[in-house]
C-alpha cells in the first residue's frame, strides 16, 4: 500500500508468519477436511447499490481497520446509497480510496462534513465521536457509532440486530430526524450472539467470560506491530513495542485497557455493563477476564453460564444451530471446535465445546467456546446491519 492510495483487503491473514525474506500478509487458507458452512455474502457482478432514492452515507475513520471493513461489508451486502463520503483525520486527508470501482479522495473530518448526510458510520475513536457525533445528529444524520463514547448513555440504543432490534424502534432513514445508535464492544457482540438464544430459553442468571482477544481490537497499527514483532523475534532481534508496552509475538498478557479501582480493566467492565443494557436486565451477574493473544483478527471467548431454568447440552446445541448469525462447530470425536483463523473474514459467530457444567446441579449450567471476527461481526458488520434496519 502506498501513501496515497488504499485498496480494500479482504483476504484472510495468515495465522503465523514464516521466517522468510518476503512475508505475505494475506494468503488463502486451505480448508480443513470437515466442511462448515459460514455465511459470507457474495459480491454480485452488477452493482445495484448506487441508487438515487437511497441514503447519503459518510464513513468516518475510513482509513482505519474498521473503516476499511465498513466499505467491504457495504459492498458484500449490496447496501444502497446515493453518495458516499470518505472522512478521516487531517493526516489522512488527500489519500485515495478505491470503492466499488470508483476512486474517492479522503476528506478531512470537519463540522461541515455532514451536510446532506443521512447515515454516518463512525469508527475513529471515542474522542472524535464525542466531538462530531452530536454535530452530525444536529444536521439530521443518523450516527452508528463504533466507539464507547455513547454506549452507556441513557436514551442511546445499544444494538445487536439479532439480539435487541426493538431498542432502535422509531429511528428511520427519511424521518428527517438525526439520532445516535451505539455499536456494542466487539467482545460483547461476539459473546451475546451465542449466549442470547440460550438466555431466551432458560434465562441466564450468571455469566463468567474469559476472552482471548486479537490484535485487530487495537487497530491496524497493532496488527502491523504483531507482524513486525513476529518477524523480528524469528530473526533474533528485539521486538518493536510501540503500540503495546511489552512483547506481543509468541506471548499473551492481560488486556491493555486501563485498570479501574475495582481491579477490573475497562474492557472487562464493558462486558458487564453492556450485557445488562442490551438485555435490559440490571440483575444479571456478569464477570469477565480479558486477555490479549497473538492472533491477527478474530476473538475467542470461553463462557460459563448459570440458568434460572434447566437446559441440557442437547437442547442447547439445537437452539444454537437455529440461531441467526451462529454456526455450531462441535465435533467431539475429531476434537474439532471453533478457531479464530476459521472465523476470520466470516459473518457468523462460531460456537463449540457445548457441555454441561459438572460443578452445577440439575442441568442449570453450561460451558461454551465462541469465536468471531472482531473487525467484521464485532464491529463493521454489526454497524452496517444496524444501518440496514434504518431503511
Q: How many C-beta neighbours within 10 Å does residue 292 have? A: 25
Residues 373, 378: Cα–Cα separation, whole Å: 6
Residues whose CB falls within 8 Å of the CB of residue 281, separated by 6 or more in sequence, listed in order: none
Strand 119-122 to 56-60 pairing: parallel
Written as nine digits, the cell of 36 is 462448515
Q: How many C-beta neighbours within 10 Å does residue 98 have? A: 13
Residues 88, 133: Cα–Cα separation, whole Å: 14
Give, rounded to a whole angstrom, the gap between the first and last alpha carbons of the chain.
35
Please name the residue that has the C-alpha cell 459473518. 347
Strand 102-105 to 56-60 pairing: unpaired
Residues whose CB falls within 8 Å of the CB of residue 52, separated by 6 or more in sequence, listed in order: 82
Phi, psi (rounded to 5 degrees) for 142: -95, 120
Q: What is the DSSP secondary structure assignment for residue 212, as one 8-state letter?
A: E
377 Rama class: left (phi>0) / alpha (psi -120 to 50) / beta: alpha
**Cβ–Cβ under 8 Å, residues 132 and 109:** yes
Show which residues are catalytic: 186, 299
Amino acid at each position: 500500500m502506498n501513501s496515497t492510495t488504499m485498496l480494500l483487503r479482504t483476504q484472510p491473514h495468515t495465522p503465523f508468519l514464516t521466517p522468510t525474506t518476503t512475508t505475505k500478509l494475506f494468503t488463502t487458507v486451505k480448508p480443513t477436511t470437515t466442511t462448515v458452512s459460514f455465511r459470507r455474502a457474495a459480491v454480485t457482478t452488477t452493482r445495484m447499490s448506487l441508487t438515487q432514492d437511497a441514503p447519503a452515507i459518510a464513513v468516518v475513520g475510513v482509513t482505519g481497520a474498521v473503516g476499511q471493513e465498513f466499505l467491504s461489508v457495504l459492498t458484500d451486502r449490496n447496501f444502497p446509497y446515493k453518495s458516499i463520503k470518505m472522512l478521516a483525520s487531517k493526516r489522512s486527508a488527500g489519500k485515495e480510496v478505491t470503492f466499488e470501482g470508483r476512486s474517492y479522495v479522503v476528506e478531512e473530518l470537519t463540522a461541515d462534513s455532514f451536510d446532506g448526510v443521512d447515515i454516518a458510520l463512525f469508527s475513529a475513536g471515542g474522542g472524535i465521536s464525542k466531538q462530531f457525533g452530536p454535530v452530525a445528529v444536529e444536521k439530521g444524520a443518523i450516527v452508528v457509532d463504533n466507539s464507547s463514547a455513547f454506549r452507556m448513555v441513557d436514551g442511546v440504543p445499544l444494538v445487536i440486530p439479532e439480539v435487541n432490534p426493538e431498542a432502535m424502534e422509531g429511528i428511520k432513514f427519511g424521518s428527517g430526524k438525526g439520532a445516535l445508535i451505539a455499536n456494542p464492544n466487539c467482545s460483547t457482540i461476539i459473546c451475546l450472539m451465542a449466549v442470547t438464544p440460550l438466555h431466551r430459553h432458560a434465562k441466564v442468571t450468571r455469566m463468567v467470560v474469559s476472552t482471548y482477544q486479537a490484535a485487530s481490537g487495537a487497530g491496524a497499527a497493532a496488527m502491523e506491530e504483531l507482524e513486525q514483532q513476529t518477524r523480528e523475534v524469528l530473526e533474533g532481534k528485539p521486538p518493536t513495542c510501540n503500540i503495546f508496552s511489552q512483547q506481543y509475538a509468541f506471548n499473551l498478557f492481560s488486556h491493555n485497557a486501563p485498570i479501574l479501582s475495582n481491579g477490573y480493566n475497562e474492557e472487562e467492565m464493558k462486558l458487564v455493563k453492556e450485557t445488562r443494557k442490551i438485555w435490559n436486565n440490571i440483575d444479571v451477574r456478569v464477570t469477565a477476564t480479558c486477555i490479549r493473544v497473538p492472533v491477527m483478527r478474530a476473538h475467542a471467548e470461553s463462557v460459563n453460564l448459570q440458568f434460572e431454568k434447566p437446559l441440557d447440552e442437547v437442547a442447547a446445541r439445537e437452539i444454537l444451530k437455529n440461531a441467526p448469525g451462529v454456526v455450531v462447530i462441535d465435533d467431539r470425536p475429531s476434537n474439532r471446535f471453533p478457531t479464530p483463523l476459521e472465523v476470520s473474514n466470516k459473518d457468523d459467530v462460531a460456537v463449540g465445546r457445548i457441555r454441561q457444567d459438572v460443578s452445577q446441579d440439575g442441568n442449570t449450567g453450561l460451558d461454551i467456546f465462541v469465536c468471531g471476527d472482531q473487525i467484521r461481526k464485532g464491529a463493521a458488520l454489526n454497524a452496517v446491519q444496524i444501518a440496514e434496519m434504518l431503511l
